[in-house]
Structure 1
């Protein structure tokens, strides 16, 4: 329905959701439709947030903590995210010095129900997810 981005829970939408879950993306970043005028407002807010973080000397490694990655793993399970998130999050964690493994994915995701019904395995699109409230 919406142009500009993959509207299923493939790798792109999954990783956009992971950015939000990790705390380095603005709320609604993952699901807001590309053509929605609120996307421009979100971009301005993101720019202001980045400037504020720089002024306060907040680094990415202060945000991307072990707890942030554990949260993202749980969110990935709840949204039925792409299995590519496993590789990407382990790589990102490694880059910032957080030890993350497949065992963590197994342990943390084991009891998380998938509660989002998005294509390709479900019935709905990211646009529907946004209008239902998104990750917030």
Structure 2
């Protein structure tokens, strides 16, 4: 069974904003955390699919694929992926004494991951052989 990043994002969206009339058996915080896990999985799958098209060896180590993304997908896409993945990772983990992520926060992440999945699906930027711009 193969799951697409889009189906995971859709499931996360349904968790964060359940259909009116559905019996909510999970608290909003638990639904938000479950949605964060689905969103991070969707982003991981989208990154794997991206790197399989560009260079399959980059799917082996998660840190490398995030670090090298700037060279292939552009600085903005790489920055957005790092920031979103980090925020979702923090939301996925339960820490004693901390509140779970808010549904509003995760709803924002649904939109971010949707945009990133679409961007990564289009493949590397046109000037993939060019080096990224330096900070000035």
Task: State the TM-score, normalizing by the size of structure 2.
Answer: 0.25
The answer to which structure has the higher helix fraction is 2
**Larger Rg, first or second structure (1 or 2):** 2
Task: State the TM-score, normalizing by the size of structure 1.
Answer: 0.25
